[in-house]
Each structure stands twice: as structure tokens, then as C-alpha cells.
Amino acid sequence: MNSRFIVRLVDLALLLLLSLLLAARISPPDVDLPRSEELDTPGKTALPLEVVVTAAGTILLGQDALTAAELALLAEYEARPVLLRVDAAAEAERLLAIHAILQASDRPATFLVHYKIQ
């Protein structure tokens, strides 16, 4: 008697699973996935713009020194996020000023603090 109950329970579970699979296959998803317009070539990830702040508070892009105004223009027209490599000995007020510049241009930024930048 117990075997008949188990067989019917398994049959019912398989029938329910089959109906759910058919229902999922029939109804198309109505979700529109977001698309990025920032990338020039599809499938490639935009690398962040790497900016270095030295212990003296100098802003460097590669080997070139930038002023705060130049950083603001760069953040305004550059579509990539900004990665700030910061020396731990840099003044906090300078870092807050740089953060305010990036925040005013609505640019996402990540601070990485290093104890010694070479």
C-alpha cells in the first residue's frame, strides 16, 4: 500500500515539473536588459583611468602632473571610472578636494591607498 502512494506522489511531482517547464518555455521574458553606450567596441571592458596622488599632493596621470582644474575637465569628458592610487602620507584635505571634484562631475572613483608609491 505504501508503494502505491509513493508511485502516485512521484508521478504527481513529475507532472508538476513537466508543466512548469512547459510554462517557462512558452512565456517569453519581458525583461529589457540595460545596454551600455560608453563602450566603443562591444564585449570589451573599459579600463579605469588611473590617477596617482603623491605624498606631496601632486596629481599625476602617467608621468604628467595635473592641476585640480585639469582633473575636473578630464573627469567631465572621460567616460571611464577613475582609479586613484594614493600615497598614505598625502594630506586628507587634498584627497577630499579631489573626491569633491570627481563627485561634482558624477564620476565613480575608487581610492587605493599605498604606503609607498615609487
- List the chain domain ranges: 49-114
pLDDT for 95 beyond 80: yes
| CA-wise closest residue to 95 among 48, 61, 50, 58 | 58
80 vs 21 pLDDT, higher one: 21
The per-residue pLDDT of the chain, averaged, comes to 79
Q: What is the mean pLDDT of residues 75-97?
A: 82
- Interior angle at CA 59, CA 53 and CA 65, nearest 5: 140
Please report, for residues 29, 51, 63, 96, the alpha-carbon distance to residue 32 in angstroms, rounded to integers and kept in the order given.
Answer: 9, 35, 43, 38
pLDDT of residue 62: 82
| Full-model pTM | 0.55
Kindly indicate the confidence band of residue 41, based on its pLDDT and cuts at 50, 70 and 90: low
pLDDT of residue 11: 92
> In 10 A of CB 113, how many CB atoms?
13
pLDDT of residue 55: 84
pLDDT of residue 109: 73
pLDDT of residue 33: 66
Percent of the chain beyond pLDDT 90? 8
Q: What is the mean pLDDT of residues 72-81?
A: 80
